[in-house]
Each structure stands twice: as structure tokens, then as C-alpha cells.
Amino acid sequence: MEVVHGRCAGLDVSKKDAKVCVRVAGVGRRKTVETVTTWGSTTNQVLALREHLIAEQVTCAVMEATGDYWKPFYYLLEDAGFEVMLVNARHVKNLPGRKSDVADATWLAQLGAHGLVRGSFVPPEPIRQLRDLTRARTAITRERGREIQRLEKLLEDASIKLSSVASDITGVSGRAMLEAMIAGQDDPAALADLAKRRLRSKIPALTEALSGRFTEHHGFLARVHLDLIDRHTRAVEDITARIEVVIAPFQGFRDLIATIPGIGPLVADVVVAETGADMTRFATAGNLASWAGTTPGHNESAGRVKSTRTRPGNPYLQGALGAAAMACAQNPGTYLGARYRRIASRRGPMKANVAIQHTMLIAIWHMGRYGTLYEDPGADFFTRLHPERAKNRALHQLEAMGYQVTLDRTG
């Protein structure tokens, strides 16, 4: 087998240390030499490893993506003057029965030496900072949602059915009622009168819903939940303000993709952070969609397709695009909305959601690669594409309902 890197290193990384195999390929009658050493995971140890690999004239270092333990090694080695490859653990599995840290490091060195592995996408430092911020905002937002659910469960325990009338129990009206209950107000009519704007039309229902057994114990826990919700809200606001600063170099790409229906500023932030805003890293639009995990899988043997399940992709990108796809589903006046309903009617809402994510990524790749603007084909795109098919479908539906239809062309 052809040797691509005559001097290659394989790193099996763990929390405390890393087993490092330096493989020097033999030339002529010289045998291949593989030397395994152990290095700590502290900064000084990794810097010493860096100097060791430079002294060994290594041209490529391969490491497995193990949790977050690869980060100190990758970040300190990426500018050492040789290629550093972070590889997917699923792509470098060793033979069964030969599993040890030393064997794994040797195996990685062998794969890297023969060019049998592909490096994972590791974005540059500015994008890594943006990723940290958007992922932290997502995590804190989800935690705030869990805290609101805990508050709702507390109200159910107190026989307060506020959530059955008000869609947001922490909104302006809901917050005023909760603060009044915590302060000791127990008159349902007085509590319902705190409703604002459109919720005032539901005062009779609110009066009935706020009749319960809200005690001092419930008030203490409600105060705790509200304080935690406020703390999460302030953290989200602070992170969002920081994101606006960090994302400034990528503002053009962000504004461009925000023109796609369903993609608002928050989703656009996640797309920029997860894809790196550089579409040249992906050879084709299909490569981007495959990397994100929105394309059908390909598992075939003996001419039989075993599975077409989508591969595991980036969960943060999938979550943001999934929310954008659901927003498109609620908009009947766009091409993406029409496409969602068209697929959902045949294959269900889940597959339709993934299909819309795929379509969005294809558009994002072309917009980022060529700087083109998004042009919506319109909700009637499929009708204009196949007018006869649309006419026949409408006729069959009317006939199935018992109508006899006669068509006269108007123009």
C-alpha cells in the first residue's frame, strides 16, 4: 500500500494523558519503526509533545475526536507546521480483540501514513468562539424552558390552571398574577383583573382558572422559579449582545441567509457558527447537506437496500434548521411551505421537516458560494410546474366528493 506520510503520528487521547505513536516508514531494506510514548494532557506536556513531534520531523498527526479531550492537543498542535487531522471515531475502528490505548495510537498512525482517513471540519478560532456563544445560548434557553415547565407543574399542584387560559404564564399578564399570588393575593377576581390587552377578553375564564389553593409554600417555590427564569433571561441577553460583537466579520453572510423564509436572526447565528460561513470547505451543496445529516443514508449489500436513515449530524444545526422548517410549515405563501405540505401529505411531518432542512442547506450553500440572493419560487410553483397534474388531482378530489365537474377554459 502506498505510503503518503513517511513520518506520521497517531494520538490516542484521554482525559489525563495521550499515547503517541510516531511511525517512520522504512525505505528499501529498512524496517518501519513505530515508537509509542505517553504524554500528559496539561499545557506544558502538550507543548513538550509538540516539540517532540517537530524534532521527529512528523508531517501528519492523527487523533480521534474523543469527547472534549482532543481540544487541548489540537489547539496547541494546529500551528506547529505539520498537518493535524481530527477524525471521526466511527471511521477508524480497530479490529475486534485488539483494543488498547497503545494499539489505537499505532492504528491511527498507520491509517494516517497511508492516507486512509479524512479530517473532520474544525473551524478557525473566531468561529469557535461564536460556536461557544451560540451553543451556550441554546443550552440556557432550553434550561429556562425547563424552569417554566417546573413552574407550571407547581401551579398544577396548587390547582391553579393559568396555563390552560394563558399561552405564556411568564408573560406580562401571567407574571403580574404570579407576583400578586406570591405577595398574598388570593381573590381570583382581583388576580384576573391584572390581565393585559387581549387576555382581558378571557377574564371570566381566568377567574375560574385562578381559583385554587395557592399557599405560602407554593409562593416560596414560585419565587425561586421566577428568580431562576430571570437569571436565565439575563444570561441569554448578555450572550446575545456578545454574539452581535463576535459575528460582525460574518454579518454579510448572516444577513444574506436571513432572507430565506423561516430563518430569523437567531437561526442565522447558529448556521454561521456551525458551518463557519465559508462554503468553500464543502465541495458541493450535497456535501454540506450530508455533513449536516439531512440526506438519506446509503446502506446496500448484495443489491438490497438495508437502510436509508439519515446519518447522525450536527445536533445544534439540525435543531435550528428544524425550528426554521416548522416556521415554514406555518407559512402557506412560500415555496418551502408548499413543499413541506406536499411531502408531509405523503411521507409524514418528520420526513417533511428533514426535507425542508435539506432544501435550506442547498440554498445556503449556493448563496454563500456565489453570493446570490434568495428568490422564492412561490407557493404555486408545483402547480405551475405540472398544471395538468394539478388539474387532474383537483378533479379527482371533487369527483370523490360526489360532484360532477365540467371545465370551461376562461383564457
Q: pLDDT value at position 140?
A: 97
Do residues 76 and 46 touch, judged by C-beta distance below 8 A? Answer: yes
Tens of pLDDT, residue by residue over 335-352, are 999 999 999 988 999 999
Q: Residue 88 and residue 98: Cα distance in Å, rounded?
A: 19
- Average pLDDT (280-306) is 85
Output the average pLDDT for the chain.
91
**In the predicted structure, residue 298 carries a pLDDT above the cut 90:** no
Which helix (H) or strand (E) segment holds residue 22: the answer is: strand 17-24
Tens of pLDDT, residue by residue over 129-165, are 999 999 999 999 999 999 999 999 999 999 999 999 9
Do residues 206 and 199 touch, judged by C-beta distance below 8 A? Answer: yes
- Average pLDDT (346-361) is 93
The contacts of residue 22 (CB under 8 Å, 6+ apart) are 7, 8, 9, 34, 35, 37, 53, 56, 58, 109
The sign of the dihedral angle between the CA atoms of 362, 366, 368, 372 is negative
Q: pLDDT value at position 405?
A: 81
Q: pLDDT value at position 411?
A: 60
* Residue burial 257-278, b: 16+ Cβ < 10 Å; e: rest: bbebbbbeebbbbbbbbbbbbb
Q: pLDDT value at position 95?
A: 66
Q: Which three cell numbers stand for residue 29?
A: 531494506
**In the predicted structure, residue 99 carries a pLDDT above the cut 90:** no
CATH architecture of 7-113: 2-Layer Sandwich (3.30)
pLDDT band at residue 248, thresholds of 50, 70 and 90? Answer: very high
What ranges do the domains of the chain cover?
A: 7-113, 126-246, 250-299+308-370
**In the predicted structure, residue 35 carries a pLDDT above the cut 90:** yes
Encoded amino acid at 126, one letter: P
**pLDDT over 70 for what percent of the chain?**
99
Q: pLDDT value at position 358?
A: 94
